[in-house]
Amino acid sequence: MFRLDHLDHLVLRVTDLPKMLHFYCDVLGCAVERRKDAIGLIQLRAGNALIDLVPVDGPLGRARGPAPGVGGRNLDHFCLRVAGFDADEIQRHLTSHGCQAGSVETRDGAEGAGPSIYLTDPEGNVVELKGPPVLVWTTSRFDIDLARPQVMGIVNVTPDSFSDGGQFDSTATALRHCEQLLGDGADILDIGGESTRPGSPAVSLEDELARVLPVLREAVKLGVPVSVDTYKPEVMQAALDLGADIVNDIWALRRGNALAVVAAHARCGVCLMHMHRDPQTMQVAPMDGDVVAPVLDFLRERDRPCRTWVWLPRGSAWTLASALARRWRRTSACWPGSVRWWRWITRFWRAGHASPRWALRPDANGRRTG
């Protein structure tokens, strides 16, 4: 039997948008989560739920009927999350109680898009029953299903990485390693040309390109998502031009015009990492105590510029670093390093969108333009 879990979101039809924004944001402390000006929708974050403001004079508001106070209603509908969502069971249950319900639709919610069933209560209020969010990470060429953990195989095309330095530093050996990882069950390949272990020297742009691009050129033909591990915007651009699916950046898009490079790409996936200082100085004064809080604070801060050009499910920005920090309790690097398996436990960080998710087109500086 299904049960109601919590309020996901409610939709208010408004006649005076500035006053409503002042009330909910300035007075009550909500934050604007997402704007969809093209259809007339502003979504506010209220704890774990969303409040949708729909101006009655906008496209969506006009489609909903009369304005409040003129024969219309202020509450458009409210959405309840359902634990144990089984569409057939819910439909049977509602029918047995004489309730008319619509068909299952995929609709947006506070925690992401998911299956929804709409019905009307005895007073005429529309109720949306919503199942769990559909977790799909859209990347350049692949929609990655995150309903199960995805395994990433790490390919270090470097002479000086943690445990495998020099083993795969040629194109031929790196590609053989890619094939071995896939044979062992990897879902994603991550290719990097610069070691970022503590004390490692920086690698020139020319050397990194020479190491990574020949491997990427062949790896994108292997039929799986391919990630490039780099913080250099020039390498990101070259990799994306070759068909790479994901940018994995230890600097969290803080170097040069990295954010603009990724924002300009239609679909590429993005993984933002936390790193204490830089590889040359991270062990001079290592982090001590509870590292989880500062890691989360950092990724929340990096969340903000990305949200100006793409909508993200709540919590997606920091799940990976949080889980890794809890396990290894250090963040001189947020991963154990070397050629190693690790579950792609981050829920996802995406640049672009997959239906029925949404994105806003950025300008060259990563600002939302539509």
Q: What is the pLDDT of residue 253?
A: 93
Give the phi and the psi of residue 214 in degrees, each rounded to 5.
Answer: -60, -35
User: How far is the C-alpha of 37 from the C-alpha of 161, rounded, in Å?
Assistant: 47
91 or 71: which leads in pLDDT: 91
What is the Rg, in whole angstroms, of the alpha carbon atoms belonging to the chain? 23
Distance in Å from the first CA to the final CA of the chain: 42
Q: What is the pLDDT of residue 324?
A: 39
Residues 6+ apart with CB under 8 A from 355: none
Q: What is the pLDDT of residue 16?
A: 87
User: How far is the C-alpha of 41 from the C-alpha of 138, rounded, in Å?
Assistant: 23
Tokens representing residue 56 in the block:
């009655």
Cα atoms in the Cβ-side hemisphere of radius 13 Å centred on 3: 1
Q: Give the pLDDT band (50/70/90) at residue 5.
A: confident
Distances (CA, A) of 277 to 173, 251, 266: 32, 10, 31
Q: What is the pLDDT of residue 307?
A: 64
Query: Is this model's pTM higher than 0.85 or not?
Result: no
Can you state the angle between helices 233-242 and 205-219, rounded to 10 degrees? 20
3-state secondary structure of 326: helix
Residue 239 confidence (pLDDT) above 90: yes
Share of the chain above pLDDT 70, in %: 81
Q: What is the pLDDT of residue 221?
A: 97
Distances (CA, A) of 44 to 52, 287, 303, 351, 352: 6, 35, 16, 21, 21
Give the phi and the psi of residue 182 in degrees, each rounded to 5.
Answer: -65, -40
124 or 161: which leads in pLDDT: 161
- Asked whether 79 and 8 are in contact (CB, 8 A), the reply is yes
In terms of Cβ atoms closer than 10 Å to its own Cβ (0-12, 13-18, 19+), residue 17 is middle
Q: What is the pLDDT of residue 355?
A: 27
Q: Give the pLDDT band (50/70/90) at residue 308.
A: low
Q: Give the pLDDT band (50/70/90) at residue 72.
A: low
| Strand (E) or helix (H) holding 33 | strand 31-36
Mean per-residue pLDDT for 175-202? Answer: 93
Q: What angle do CA 38, 40, 44 make, to 5 degrees?
A: 115
Residue 336 confidence (pLDDT) above 70: no
Task: Using alpha carbons, select from 215, 139, 155, 335 the residue that is nearest to residue 235.
Answer: 215
Q: State the amino acid at position 268 in one-letter form.
A: C
Mean per-residue pLDDT for 322-343? Answer: 32
Tokens representing residue 272 in the block:
């933002």
Q: Give the pLDDT band (50/70/90) at residue 299.
A: confident
Mean per-residue pLDDT for 227-233? Answer: 96
Distances (CA, A) of 290 to 330, 331, 358: 9, 10, 35
Mean per-residue pLDDT for 330-357? Answer: 29
Question: Which of the residue ranges 44-48, 67-71, 72-76, 326-330 would you say has the lowest mean pLDDT?
Answer: 326-330
User: How far is the C-alpha of 214 from the C-alpha of 216, rounded, in Å?
Assistant: 6
Cα atoms in the Cβ-side hemisphere of radius 13 Å centred on 230: 35
User: How far is the C-alpha of 6 from the C-alpha of 16, rounded, in Å?
Assistant: 29
- The pLDDT tens digits for 126-162 are 889 999 888 888 899 999 988 788 999 999 999 988 7
Cα atoms in the Cβ-side hemisphere of radius 13 Å centred on 5: 16
